[in-house]
A and B are shown apart, each in its own frame.
Chain A
Amino acid sequence: MKKVIIVVYGKDKSGIIYNITKILYENAMNVLDIKQTIVGGYFNMMTVADCSKTKALSKVKSELDKYSKKSNLSINMHLEEAFDTMHNV
């Protein structure tokens, strides 16, 4: 299974999870896990999604970038291996 991890942080507001999962859903991704916390009004989230059926990750990336700019949130998407190789031996 090919997985991406989407990491989001920034000032909390309503609709963040809705808007991000909507983009994922529209690009044939299935959310596998969400870890989320709010510290001092700041929203932190990591979403793991199956992207095996997604045709173009670059399209997802540009849609996330668009929402990132609109919502003033930092949103980064990486294939899972980028995290796995860094943190697990």
Chain B
Amino acid sequence: MVNISLEQALETTEMFAKEHLDVRTITMGISLLDTMTSDVDKLCKKISDKIFSYANELVKVGNDISDEYGIPIINKRIAVTPMSIITSSSCKKDEDYIKVAKTLDDIAKKLKVDFIGGWSAIVNGGMTDNDVRFIKCIPKVLSRTNLLCSSVVVGSTKTGLDMDAVKLCGNVIKDTAYRTRDKESIGCAKFVVFANAPDDNPFMAGAFHGVSEGEVTINVGVSGPGVVRKALTNTKGQDFTTLCETIKKIAFKITRIGQLVGLEASKRLNVPFGIIDLSLAPTPAKGDSISDIIELMGIEITGAPGTTCALAILNDQVKKGGIMAARNVGGLSGAFIPVSEDAGMINAVSKKALTIEKLEAMTCVCSVGLDMIAIPGDTSESSISGIIADEMMIGIINQKTTAVRIIPAYGKKVGDKVNFGGLLGMAPIMKINNFDCKDFINRGGHIPAPIHSFKN
């Protein structure tokens, strides 16, 4: 007999129907290492053949599982080996890169996946000549593709921070904003700069299939801020032990759903199951917000004193609850704090309670970093590089993943808004500190890896 009570059945269906519990993404990671060749056209053909051979059924399987289990699966995505490596012997000029990028974009369109990630370069130890060419071409690539996502890993705790790459990324972001100015600079929403990037992240824009990964894997990203929020509505006035236990229990339940979907997708696609990314990823939908959870804990509005502590509790308890529910945990795992994708965050910014400096502090304890933040279009390249350098160092020193996905929205100033639509949401333009850091960024070179002892 089925060992489920009526109350449990109602609880589960309400999570899906009213509290936006979903599997945010099933991401198939595919190694393209064996497609490398010195001829661009041959490379495109080999890439296309390989991705189609593995991912042909990805969307259908995702939709079937969603229908049969009654579990919403929002995105089906593909991540490939960092393309700076794959294109290194065949692409010598911008047109070559664009040809390969368009091939990936077309594959994504034909397969009807939501995004394809991996237009990436890993340069935390330094850039090769190919890497420099590849990174410089990113703005052109992002302005001429729709579903392709890009990332650059500029630092890690083991290698330190490549400041030449940081400087270059400031330029890439500004140029991308300009080249996609007719669409609210949306290209920048598909580009992220990382420190300590995981090889198995299923979330965009930073997903790529790291060179340490196997031939092909299925990775799953779960979501569910709305479910945590609902669980916390009954804990008002209760102590922190109760608060932590409540989050932990609900995170366990959310993760079990991700585990079930991942295993089933892996079985049906005949592809090994990789990891569950235990993430709370908000959406612009009402109630599906990390900010709302922070406020339910007793903070008047996100950004007020206590916010960083509240976020740290959430992030840690989600991991503690999720770890036991999943066979293999990886990716970014934790609470995301994007601004444009979270109605509560947008509200906090609009009311001037949440500043970019407070967001930076919050990134010390969240799962990633400065995410989907729109800033004035006239922000200088060096200021953007400065913001990146600050955020990367937080990750490098504290041995965590950090990232910057920032949009200097062309022609916009503080008080304006950008509207990307869909999961990317809407963002008010945030004020940033405009004092200069040009001489610091222009030094160039490499900042050595930090010491791993004397943690004060």
User: Counting CB contacts under 8 A, is B309 at the interface?
Assistant: no
A39 CB to closest chain B CB, in angstroms?
A: 11
User: Counting CB contacts under 8 A, is B71 at the interface?
Assistant: yes
Given A7-B10, A83-B12, A85-B260, the answer on whether A76 and B4 have CB atoms closer than 8 Å is: no
User: Counting CB contacts under 8 A, is B259 at the interface?
Assistant: yes
> Is the CB–CB distance between B67 and A61 below 8 Å?
yes
Q: A83 — which chain B residues lie within 8 A by C-beta?
A: 2, 4, 8-9, 12
How many residues does chain A have at the interface if contact means C-beta atoms less than 8 Å apart? 30
Given A3-B2, A44-B6, A76-B70, the answer on whether A86 and B13 have CB atoms closer than 8 Å is: no
> Is the CB–CB distance between A79 and B68 below 8 Å?
yes
User: Counting CB contacts under 8 A, is B1 at the interface?
Assistant: yes
Q: B13 — which chain A residues lie within 8 A by C-beta?
A: 7, 9, 74, 76, 78
> Is the CB–CB distance between B8 and A76 below 8 Å?
no
CA distance A58 to B256 in the complex (A): 23
> Is the CB–CB distance between B69 and A87 below 8 Å?
no
Instruction: Encode contact with B along A21-44: 1 for CB under 8 Å, 0 otherwise.
Output: 000000000001101110000001
> Is the CB–CB distance between A86 and B10 below 8 Å?
no
User: Counting CB contacts under 8 A, is B3 at the interface?
Assistant: yes
A85 CB to closest chain B CB, in angstroms?
A: 4
User: Counting CB contacts under 8 A, is B16 at the interface?
Assistant: yes
> Is the CB–CB distance between B259 and A5 below 8 Å?
no
Instruction: Encode contact with B along A48-83: 1 for CB under 8 Å, 0 otherwise.
Output: 100000000110010000000000001011111111
B3: contacting residue among A37, A81, A88, CB under 8 A? A88
> Is the CB–CB distance between A86 and B67 below 8 Å?
no
User: Counting CB contacts under 8 A, is A16 at the interface?
Assistant: no
A9: contacting residue among B2, B3, B10, CB under 8 A? B10
> Is the CB–CB distance between A80 and B2 below 8 Å?
yes
In this complex, the member of B5, B12, B253 whose beta carbon has the largest number of chain A beta carbons within 10 angstroms is: B12
CA distance A84 to B156 in the complex (A): 41
A58: contacting residue among B6, B9, B16, B67, CB under 8 A? B67
> Is the CB–CB distance between A85 and B12 below 8 Å?
no
In this complex, the member of A5, A35, A82, A84 whose beta carbon has the largest number of chain B beta carbons within 10 angstroms is: A82
Q: A5 — which chain B residues lie within 8 A by C-beta?
A: 2, 4, 9
> Is the CB–CB distance between A78 and B1 below 8 Å?
no
A56 CB to closest chain B CB, in angstroms?
A: 9
User: Counting CB contacts under 8 A, is A46 at the interface?
Assistant: yes
User: Counting CB contacts under 8 A, is B447 at the interface?
Assistant: no
In this complex, the member of A45, A87, A88 whose beta carbon has the largest number of chain B beta carbons within 10 angstroms is: A87
How many residues does chain B have at the interface if contact means C-beta atoms less than 8 Å apart? 23
Instruction: Encode contact with A along B54-78: 1 for CB under 8 Å, 0 otherwise.
Output: 0000000000000111110000000
> Is the CB–CB distance between A82 and B69 below 8 Å?
yes
CA distance A81 to B68 in the complex (A): 11
> Is the CB–CB distance between B4 and A78 below 8 Å?
no
> Is the CB–CB distance between A57 and B68 below 8 Å?
yes
Given A82-B260, A83-B4, the answer on whether A46 and B9 have CB atoms closer than 8 Å is: yes
Q: B257 — which chain A residues lie within 8 A by C-beta?
A: 82, 85-86
Instruction: Encode contact with A along B269-294: 1 for CB under 8 Å, 0 otherwise.
Output: 00000000000000000000000000
CA distance A84 to B12 in the complex (A): 10
Q: B1 — which chain A residues lie within 8 A by C-beta?
A: 32-33, 48
Q: B70 — which chain A residues lie within 8 A by C-beta?
A: 61, 76-79, 82
B83 CB to closest chain A CB, in angstroms?
A: 36
A88 CB to closest chain B CB, in angstroms?
A: 6
Q: B3 — which chain A residues lie within 8 A by C-beta?
A: 84, 87-88
CA distance A80 to B2 in the complex (A): 8
> Is the CB–CB distance between B9 and A86 below 8 Å?
no
CA distance A57 to B2 in the complex (A): 19
* Contact residues of B between 1 and 29, Cβ < 8 Å to A: 1-6, 8-10, 12-13, 16-17
Instruction: Encode contact with A along B94-122: 1 for CB under 8 Å, 0 otherwise.
Output: 00000000000000000000000000000
> Is the CB–CB distance between B5 and A35 below 8 Å?
yes
Q: Give 5 closest A-B pairs by Cβ, nearest first.
A: A78-B70, A46-B9, A7-B13, A35-B6, A76-B13
Seen from chain B, the residues whose Cβ lies within 8 Å of a Cβ on chain A are 1-6, 8-10, 12-13, 16-17, 67-71, 253, 256-257, 259-260
Q: What are 16 contact pairs spanning A and B, CB under 8 A? A: A5-B4, A7-B10, A9-B13, A35-B9, A46-B4, A76-B13, A76-B17, A77-B70, A78-B13, A81-B260, A83-B4, A83-B8, A84-B2, A86-B256, A87-B4, A88-B4
